[in-house]
A = this chain, B = another copy of it.
Amino acid sequence: MIKFLDLHKVNQRFENEFQEKFKAFLASGRYVLGREVETFEHDYAAYCGTAHCIGVSNGLDALTLIFKAYKILGKLNDGDEVIVPANTYIASILAIINAGLTPVLVEPDQETFNISPKEIKKAISVKTKAILAVHLYGQLADMDAIQALAKAQDLLVVEDAAQAHGAIHNNGKRAGNLSHAAAFSFYPGKNLGALGDAGAVTTNDSALAKTIFLLRNYGSEKKYINQHLGYNNRLDELQAAFLNVKLKHLDADNDRRQHIALKYLAEINNKKVLLPTCKAVKSHVFHVFVVLVTDRAHFMTYLQAKGIETLIHYPVPPHQQEALKTFNTKKFPITEAIHQRIVSLPISPVLSHQDVDFIINTINTY
């Protein structure tokens, strides 16, 4: 059986280091916002090329904190519109609503599945104050076009980089450093995954960083002094320790993902299976490898019978979820068509050459 993602195997490579970290953690007696969090924030900012990284509880909170902090800083206000892809994980949209802002859903580009700059342009209103660009599946959104639109209209740009750790734009900058502020998730299945929930915000905006540092810790910088109506959204010290181990291997892991992806792209040659486009390899870190098929159920059952596990990212688009009732009557045909046909194939740094070949052959004989 080839698992969709063998996380045990992914992490087994680091077990000795994790054990060492755990021992040191126990010996320190310091369990909250200690050295490991500080080190991670320093190193992850350096990795992304940003001035600041603030470790937080998870990806959804990272996004929400960015919006809430901009409200405190007076750059966003209740009810302001934020443009967001209709084709995303629902958390992108939840963050906007939970921060008291209004999401405006926009169709994706048919080829990249990422938000379409043309459609953004149509959706901009006088109420629009920000664009949330999601780097879906690990591929950078069209940041040049998005930045151009944003500059013309004086909009904030926020990246949802939950799926794109390490992706490099052709200007040499990484995901997390392509906008005013970016949110990362280190959910275990991510390219950089903790052993539980974890997240971070990266930014070059010092005022924003400062505000988020306060908000994640009850609105407090100095113990027992509370400046803001804050939250408890700290990055766990032990999870930070694990992330410090894994960050060193992120580039190598992404290389392996890209290698597998290029092999899939070159060698899967079944006409019933539409392959994703990837314009610049460095700009796509293949968090998931998504193909389009017309007979999805049949295709997935076939692969399952051959011992290949697949997933769907995602089976139901956000606008059709009960949670987003006010959107249920709206139509996003491109998003809906994508959701009906996508299948995610196994891809990970520990997927063996043999398994990759087997997957390719199995698909080609479908």
Contact = CB atoms under 8 A, between A and B. Distances in A.
A219 to B, nearest CB: 5
Contact of A236 (B11, B197, B315): B197
A231 B98 contact: yes
Interface stretch (A25-33, A47-55, A152-160): A25-33
A312 B225 CA distance: 12
Contact of A316 (B18, B224, B228): B224
Contact of A229 (B58, B98, B315): B98
Given A29-B7, A31-B196, A32-B187, A57 B229 contact: no
Nearest to A57: B57
Contact of A197 (B11, B226, B227, B232): B232
Contacts of A225: 316, 321-322
Interface in A294-317: 312, 314-316
Nearest to A196: B236
A149 interface: no
A8 B29 contact: yes
Interface string A233-257: 0101111000000000000000000
Contacts of A15: 26
A97 interface: yes
B91 A322 contact: no
A210 to B, nearest CB: 14
